[in-house]
Amino acid sequence: MPTPAKGPRLGGGAAHERLMLANLSAALFEHKRITTTVTKAKRLKPYAERLVTFAKRGDLASRRRVLGLISNKGIVHELFTDIAQAVENRNGGYTRITKIGNRKGDNAPMAVIELVLEPVSAKQAVVAEATQAAAKAAPVAEEAPVVETEAAETEAAEAKYAGSKPATADNVAPEGFEVKGNEDSMKYHVPGSRWYDATVAEVWFDSAESAAAAGFVPAGGDAAQAVEAE
């Protein structure tokens, strides 16, 4: 016989345990509270709350699944209507266990397990709403600096030289950066020079001085690029 996942098994076997938990759940849903041993109450709590979760879904598949465990249709109907509606605003914690001392005779520890059907208090509702709002706002607040930092790092990486801009796909000069630089020849062309229009810029500079500082030389010599001063 396989051993249970954790804790002692109730009854003589696995089938007996499942039947016992189903019967205890049916009694709990019918009477709203039952008295049993502490061990049974602790085993019943997750079992019953799982059935309440199915009831809150309210679809046909969930109802059939519960009917496969609890054959009393009247109790299942009450679970899916009255009980599910009463705990609609709760996110778990549908049952409560209260220890009441030991039983006379065998001295077994006893407890009362009951459904928590009280409406959620206004304070609990406010705390829940605040928690949800904080969870939604937190990712936005955290991601904003990251995006800004990545953009700054990308822009810094693309600017290879001081006073420069990277090449553009349409070969149109960025505003304020009209000097064309060719990295293969390490030469620069100022607007109006002989080869300026025929040159595809591999880097744009804001001035001839910036290009010279980056190690570029004037194409055709200083005289050919002197048109910048005219």
Q: Report how far residue 209's alpha carbon sits from residue 216's, in angstroms, rounded to the nearest whole number.
A: 9
* Local structure of 31: helix, strand or coil: helix
The pTM of the full predicted model, rounded to 2 decimals, is 0.52
pLDDT in tens, 38-81: 999 999 999 999 999 999 999 999 999 999 999 999 999 999 99
Please give the share of the chain, as a percent, with pLDDT higher than 70: 80
The pLDDT score that the predictor gives to residue 121 is: 66
Burial bucket for residue 190 (CB in 10 Å: 0-12, 13-18, 19+): buried
pLDDT in tens, 128-179: 667 767 777 665 445 545 445 455 544 544 567 888 888 887 888 888 888 8
Q: Report how far residue 219's alpha carbon sits from residue 82's, in angstroms, rounded to the nearest whole number.
A: 88
The pLDDT score that the predictor gives to residue 210 is: 86
Residue ranges of the domains in the chain?
14-122, 164-229
| Exposure on the CB side of residue 124, measured as CA atoms within 13 A | 7
The pLDDT score that the predictor gives to residue 219 is: 83
The pLDDT score that the predictor gives to residue 228 is: 47
The pLDDT score that the predictor gives to residue 159 is: 66
Distance of CA 131 to the CA centre of its chain: 14
To 10 degrees, what angle do helices 60-67 and 38-57 make? 150
The pLDDT score that the predictor gives to residue 125 is: 57
| CATH class of this structure's domain 14-122 | alpha beta
